[in-house]
Structures are given as C-alpha cells and as structure tokens.
Amino acid sequence: MHFDLTPEEVMIRDAVRDFAEGVVAPNASKRDETGEVPFAIMQQMGSLGFFGIPFAEEWGGSGANTMSYALAVEEIGRVDASLGLGFAAHVSLGCSPLYYFGSDAQKRQFLEQAIKGVYLAAFGLTEPEAGSDAGGTQTKALREGEHYRLNGTKIFITNAGHAGYIVATARTDPASRKISSFIVPHDTAGVSVRCDYTKMGMRSSETCEIHFDDVVIPAEYRLGAEDKGFHQFLDILDGGRISIGALSVGVAEASLQASLAYANQRRQFGKALNEFQAIQFKLADMAMEVELARTMVHKAAWLKDRHRPYAKEAAMAKLYASEVAMRASSEAVQIHGGAGYMNDFPVERYMRDAKLLVIGEGTSEIQRMVIARYLLQEQNS
C-alpha cells in the first residue's frame, strides 16, 4: 500500500495549516468563552477556496478530493474544534446534498454562493422526536399544486443562523415514513431560527432550533425525486462521518501535542514529567491511537475518492476517531493535573469539545449498529 500524500494534498494541507495557525488559533479560547460565531473567518475560508475542496470546478470548487478535504478539516479542528465543526457541517451536510442530488438550476442558485462563503448552508435533520431514529421525522411537507407547505421543528442544527438555505427533511405522506428533502431559503416566510443553546463544548459553533410554520416553497426546491430523502440523507451521513472522523483526529492530535509540551516543561520530584514511565506510557498510547485513527479516516476517504463502497469504513473511522479524541483529551487533562482543569490551558476545552464527537453525526452506539449491519450483510452475501 502507498501512504504518501500527493503533492496537491500536501499543498492543500499546508495552506490550511498556515491559515489555522495564523488566523484561527489566536482567538479560539476567547471565542469559546464568549460563544462568538466566527462567521467572518468562515467567509474568509470560502473566499480562499476551502469550502470547494471536494467539489468540481464547474460549481466553483477546486476539483480536489475527499482526502484533501479530510486533511483540511483536521487542520482547522486541531486549533478550533468549534470552527472545524462549522466547516464540516457546511461542506458535508449543507453543500453536499445539493452537489450530489440537486439539479443544475439548484446548484447555480444556491450551491455556488455557499461554496464561495457568501453564506453558510445547514442540514435540518434532527427533531425533538427524531434523533438517532432519523427516519422518525415528524416535519411534514404537503403538496399543494406547484408548491409544498412545510410545518415542523428541527433542533441542534449547525450553522442555521448564518445559513442562506437549509436542506430540510420532511414527510410527504402523513400516513407513512416516506421522506423527501427540500431546499428552504432562510428568508422564506414562516421560517424562524433561534440560536441560543447553552452548550458544554463547541461553544462558538452555531447551534440552532428551526421552526417551519406554514412555510410555502415551490416544488422545484424539492431535492431530487419525491420520497427519496431517506436514502439521500443516509448517503450524506456516510460522507459526513469521514469529516467528523477527521475533526476528531484534529482534537486528538491537539491533545497529544499539548501533553507533550506540558510534560516537557513541568517538573515534579526534581525531574520533568516526561521522565516518568507512567507519563511516557500515556503519551505512547495517545500517539498510537491518533495515528491509527488518522489512518482509518484516510482509508475511508481513499475509498470514497475511488468510488468504492466506503460506508462501513466511514462508520468505523468516525467511531474509533471520536472515541480516541475523547480518550486523548481526557488523558491530556490528567497529564496536566489541576492545571488541566483550569482554562489557562486549552486541554479542558479539547475535552469538552470531544464529547460532542461521540454523539453527533450518529452516536457511537449507532455506528456500532451500522458496522454490525454491514458485517452481517457480508456474511450472508
């Protein structure tokens, strides 16, 4: 197997790394404290082409690949997981549905502006009664001639406050679980968005509640064929798991690097922490797991780029990498001791941010169910 990145992938990674360290990192802790959403930085990322990394040049993308995009998400997430989450949600969940299932007219009207960073894009899937059971959507879209009328509520939706449009799932038959997807412009009458959640972590990532109250949209805003929304969002979530896996690797890598630096400078009992075997073992385990997680994410991205089945591998990568991020950040706090519990060091932020990664984009329990389903299918095929 060949593990080297291509020259283009290295160039993209290094460009995003320079931006992350020079522009994103300096005020990451302050944004975490205030909950400020760095929309201006996200617009800058769009203007630099970061949002278009996995998309074709025809629609304003760079024509790169999923691997390059995963590298970019890792680099942003390494310095600011909140911004990394907004980045991943915008590209994987907001832009990808239009890119893969939208018409040319829909892409011209909505996708091109989102890729440029003129506005963000949001994906309205989760509801009060439809979390892990995403097929239990209660939002309804009733056909009325050449229009649809939407009613319902979405919760925990990333980027919705600055979204130019929301891709929303809704039941098109009240008597069944048939689901369709719709492009809902943010400024449509009847759409209201509240972004006032108080969160444990990812505090500067915008998380919102959306209400659709007799929202009327033209039928041409339906994404793809009617009743295909369930299969569409399953496909989108498969790709999204790669980006959350990459974000998890970024948080885990940040935890490792912070631990290495602290263990080198902190002295106890007359010697540096990194001279104690107990600390060395922690660092070795963290480094091993980070490398394994990164390799799993890269394999899933590699498969997707070659148009090969990758859903099982994406679920494995997301599951393992998110749990590695949780373990690595927890160990980072432990290595820092009491100092790690204070916000003088970033490791307490890493730990709070990491918790979302084992919940969002499908919990660890859901990932295990997905993996088991594929294993059983393979066994019986």
Active site residue 361: yes
Residue 24 · residue 90 · CB < 8 Å? no
> Could you give the C-alpha distances from 230 to 98, 244, 370, in angstroms and in order?
15, 21, 15
Q: Which conformational region is residue 184 in: left (phi greater than 0), alpha (psi within -120 to 50 degrees), or beta?
A: beta
**Bridge partners, residue 122, by sequence:** 166
Residue tagged active-site, from 206, 323, 331, 361: 361
Amino acid identity, position 41: I
Q: What is the SS3 string spanning 35-54?
A: CCCCHHHHHHHHHCCHHHCC
Tokens of 271: 């010697």
CB atoms within 10 A of CB 58: 10
CA 232 – CA 175 distance, rounded (Å): 21
SS3 for 295? helix
Q: Which conformational region is residue 30 in: left (phi greater than 0), alpha (psi within -120 to 50 degrees), or beta?
A: alpha
Q: Which sequence positions are flagged as catalytic?
A: 361
